[in-house]
Amino acid sequence: MRKRHLVALVVCALALQSGAAAIGARGFPLRTTPAADSQFDVRAHGATGDGKTLDTDAINRAIDAAAAAGGGTVVFPAGTYLSTSIHLKSHVALFIGHGAVIEAAPLERAAYDEPEPNPWDKYQDFGHSHWHNSLMWGENVEDVAILGTGLIHGKGLTRAGNPPKGAGNKSIALKNSRNITIRDISILHGGHFAILATGVDNLTVDNVKMDTNRDGIDVDACRNVRLSNLTINSPFDDGICLKSSFGLGVARATENVTITNCQVSGYDEGTLLDGTFKRTVKYTRGTTGRIKFGTESNGGFKNITIANCVFDYSRGLAIESVDGGLIEDVTITNLTMRDIVNAPIFIRLGNRARGPENPPPGVIRRVSISNVVASGVDGAHGILVSGIPDHPIEDLRFENIRIAYKGGGTAADAALQPEEKEKDYPEPDMFGRMPSYAFFGRHVRALTIHGAEFTYDNAEVRPAIHLQDVVRADVDRLRAQKPSGGTTVVLRAVRDFVLRNCPGLKDLQRERADREAF
């Protein structure tokens, strides 16, 4: 027995000395740093890193060498590497070292790869339909990683969704790929997308900081995705955005997704990474920077969980199906929000129907949202949930929700009847101001509100809750600051309604309430 143990120790020691990988419990190699013979330094392939010389060809030569060797890690030592389109390849990692910057070159210096043809591009924006016109892109690749503590600076990228000829508009774009890891890097001024992943399975993005001028990360028609520990500042567009477009020529769902321990915001661009967190930015519809499902939603979203996320000076959570997709089995918990510029939670089933053969409205069902705390929330909307006639949102649950609104609603606001706007682009402000200050629900089947507290800071006349065309509504333990108008809940064409354990309100049950307020 002792002899076997001694042999094992000797073998392990020799392996460590030679740089070989340790062996994990299931027999797979484990390595924290690449062996020297699997590293490919971009400087050894002609890169200068002086921030002036165009290093594109040298970088791609290093990647080609690593791929030809069967795989390896392309290393960027400290320096600034000016580049246009970098071609990601299977079994090759990029390691952007401390002090290293990959900087997108301006169009005046050199052109980026042309956007590839896509016969399906009429069903989604141009930016969602093309991948090659990017600083880094990979198509049909596997086992790819972008790692390190360095910076990707999209300085020369355009934020335009439909860029001029030769321009690049994405920092990282991936299409029809699998087993992708992006970890620890920072992205500044990332273009139309800092990261666009379409049809990517087994995607892990962890501990990445993005401070950008359009979307942070878009995950489109992907499966088995883990987004964790992300810090994303995107004042002019969405921070974390799940999509299911028709860009691949098929309605493919985004499914099996976890989003955990992330922060999103809408500070001035650049002030996340420099630590000043300025809030002077002005935008027509208010700063964005949120977590969102949609708008592209042909394939739908299934089996999604979001937990432990912070929203600061941004729009709120948005869940949207407007292109025929199915949204189901969604669990969202432990959200903290501050200074939200529109609805803290927006759930919309619409009928934009942008897809082949005019798809019928989709379905939203089995969505659970719990443990939400928000303050400084704009007073125009409240939580806003709206299906469309004959297509209700189904089985929706809110639990342990505490929201402090700015208030300011008037008697004229309370009398409003929001239009349906079935085909409009979905945003909370599409309906204008809402007739309730805390919660508006319309065209819903099976709505549960358990444990909610709603307050306001400025004088408020509107009721806290307005329900319209809702079947099976269960409201329990609601504590809502009473408006000066004297009405807390308004019911319009509501059936099977139960209210109980709500301070200041009597328990009641209604089989039908065509028009009632209390």
Backbone angles phi, psi at 64, to 5 degrees: -60, -40
Identify the pLDDT of residue 137: 98
Instruction: Note the pLDDT tens digit of each residue in 216-257.
Output: 999 999 999 999 999 999 999 999 999 999 999 999 999 999
Identify the pLDDT of residue 35: 58
Identify the pLDDT of residue 37: 63
What distance lies between CA 140 and its chain's CA centroid? 23
**What is d(CA 22, CA 188) in angstroms, rounded to the nearest whole number?**
36
Helix (H, G, I), strand (E, B) or coil at 39: strand
Residue recorded with tokens 């945003």: 427
Instruction: Note the pLDDT tens digit of each residue in 46-71.
Output: 999 999 999 999 999 999 999 999 99
- Residues with Cβ within 8 Å of 26's Cβ and at least 6 positions away in sequence, in order, are none
Per cent of the chain over pLDDT 70 is: 93
Residues constituting the chain: 518
Average pLDDT over residues 259-276: 98
DSSP 105-164: PPTTT-PPPPPPP-TTGGGS-HHHH--SSSSEEEES-EEEEEESS-EEE-TT----SSPP
Query: Comparing 491 with 20, which gets the higher pLDDT?
Result: 491
Instruction: Note the pLDDT tens digit of each residue in 150-208.
Output: 999 999 999 988 899 999 999 999 999 999 999 999 999 999 999 999 999 999 999 99
Average pLDDT over residues 74-102: 98
Pairing of strands 151-153, 186-188: parallel
Going from N- to C-terminal start, the domains of the chain cover 48-266, 316-518
Pairing of strands 100-104, 79-83: parallel
Identify the pLDDT of residue 27: 43
Find residue 383's DSSP bridge partners. 439
Query: Does 32 have pLDDT greater than 80?
Result: no
Specify whether the CB–CB gap between 77 and 60 falls below 8 A. Answer: no
Identify the pLDDT of residue 16: 39
**What's the DSSP call for residue 166?**
T
Q: 431, 441, 386, 433: which is closest to 412 by C-alpha?
A: 433
Residue recorded with tokens 């301070």: 503
Identify the pLDDT of residue 162: 87
Instruction: Note the pLDDT tens digit of each residue in 382-429.
Output: 999 999 999 999 999 999 999 999 999 999 999 999 999 999 999 999
Domain 48-266, classified CATH 2.160.20.10, yes or no: yes
- With cut-offs at 50, 70 and 90, classify the pLDDT of residue 283: confident
Query: Does 12 have pLDDT greater than 50?
Result: no
Identify the pLDDT of residue 148: 97
Instruction: Note the pLDDT tens digit of each residue in 453-481.
Output: 999 999 999 999 999 999 999 999 999 99
Q: What is the pTM of this model?
A: 0.92
Identify the pLDDT of residue 36: 56
**What is d(CA 206, CA 509) in angstroms, rounded to the nearest whole number?**
48
